[in-house]
Amino acid sequence: MITDALGFLQSWYTSHCDGDWEHSYGVTIDTLDNPGWRLKIDLLSTPLAGALLDRLVVERTEDDWVHVWSDGTHFEGACGPLNLGEVLEHFRVFAGPASARGGEHV
């Protein structure tokens, strides 16, 4: 799952690098101090611009948790220290054909 989701993100990012998009937009993966990960993916100027996702909250344990959402401008995720692959998989599902229509509530 991690490899497929990471590969998908790499392909998605590469497909939007057109000489302009990558200068203003992109993908940020950072760490949290609780500990955990934070993912932010710019959706503007992509087919996903406007695609919404209500906040999904999965709280299993103190270190095993995932939150993902989209406000139509960014897809964002935060998660526990071993859940980055799960957040990337949520982006893969979000970015699938149904949400690529833009402006759609997923």
Q: Would you list the domain boundaries of the chain?
A: 2-101
pLDDT at residue 45, rounded to an integer? 96
pLDDT at residue 3, rounded to an integer? 58
Q: Which residues pair with 27 in a beta bridge?
A: 41
Half-sphere exposure at residue 40, Cβ-oriented, CA atoms within 13 angstroms: 11
pLDDT at residue 72, rounded to an integer? 97
pLDDT at residue 7, rounded to an integer? 93
pLDDT at residue 2, rounded to an integer? 47
> What backbone torsions phi and psi does residue 71 show, to the nearest 5 degrees?
-100, 10
Rounded mean pLDDT for each run of 10 residues along the chain, 106 residues in total: 80 94 97 97 97 98 98 98 97 78 43
